[in-house]
Chain A
């Protein structure tokens, strides 16, 4: 079974700082997804990465995928309080219809 590991599990960072969340997975896949979840809410799609070397950016967030290393990163630039949430990566085994989620990274941005 495909395993997905995220680290760190918890991240507390000051506003204005940069940080990276890592997502490692255990078997070959070319598809990786990043989601955000606010407390008590559902999952909001952030990025869909569908090939090796894919890089996508939206505001202060940038995601990349290295399928050879089985690694995706979510980079946060100049964090602001509104980015406080739990971030999940998800991988599928190229079927496109069964996601394996990481454990989630709970991010708190401190003013």
Chain B
């Protein structure tokens, strides 16, 4: 059974650019969550999607957005990148939430 797949694994961007990260959940999983992990702030919740609808959003600026497609694949977008956006971005999927999530390997974003 394939796990949660995130692409790309590594990304280097310049301040002011925008970036799109992709996440393919485990087959049959309909809930996809995104988290940002940094040494200073730890793991912070970005947003969660279920059946193409955003159910929850964390305390991040509007530059961070996401969406989910009908096949449950999800993307997150960060516009006008700042140095502080450098982080490991983790995607996680679950059938419906509540039973715990399976995490992907993450996308390491470096903003220079």
Contact between A95 and B42, CB atoms less than 8 A apart: no
Among B58, B94, B99, B104, contact of A42 (Cβ-Cβ < 8 Å): B104
Among B33, B42, B99, B100, contact of A98 (Cβ-Cβ < 8 Å): B33
How many residue-residue contacts, CB under 8 A, span A and B?
Answer: 60
List A residues 38-66 near B (Cβ within 8 Å): 41-45, 48, 50
Which listed segment binds A: B11-19, B43-51, B64-72?
B43-51
List B residues 18-59 near A (Cβ within 8 Å): 31, 33, 35, 42-45, 48, 50, 55-56, 58-59
Q: Does B61 sit within 8 A of A, measured CB to CB?
A: no
Contact between B31 and A97, CB atoms less than 8 A apart: yes
Contact between B50 and A97, CB atoms less than 8 A apart: yes
Chain A contacts for B90, CB-based, 8 A: 42-43
Contact between A95 and B97, CB atoms less than 8 A apart: yes
CA distance A50 to B100 in the complex (A): 10
How many residues of chain A get a CB closer than 8 Å to chain B's CBs?
23
Shortest Cβ distance from residue B94 to the other chain A in the assembled complex, whole angstroms: 8
Among A35, A45, A90, A97, contact of B48 (Cβ-Cβ < 8 Å): A97
Supply 29 A–B pairs (Cβ within 8 Å), ascending by A. Answer: A1-B59, A31-B98, A33-B100, A42-B104, A42-B105, A43-B90, A43-B103, A45-B101, A48-B100, A50-B98, A88-B43, A95-B55, A96-B94, A96-B96, A96-B99, A97-B31, A97-B33, A97-B98, A98-B33, A98-B45, A98-B48, A98-B56, A99-B35, A99-B43, A99-B45, A99-B101, A100-B45, A101-B43, A104-B42
Beyond A98-B33, A98-B48, 20 additional contacts (C-beta under 8 Å) are: A1-B59, A31-B98, A33-B101, A35-B103, A42-B90, A42-B105, A42-B106, A44-B103, A45-B100, A45-B101, A48-B99, A48-B100, A50-B98, A95-B55, A95-B97, A96-B98, A97-B31, A97-B55, A98-B58, A99-B33
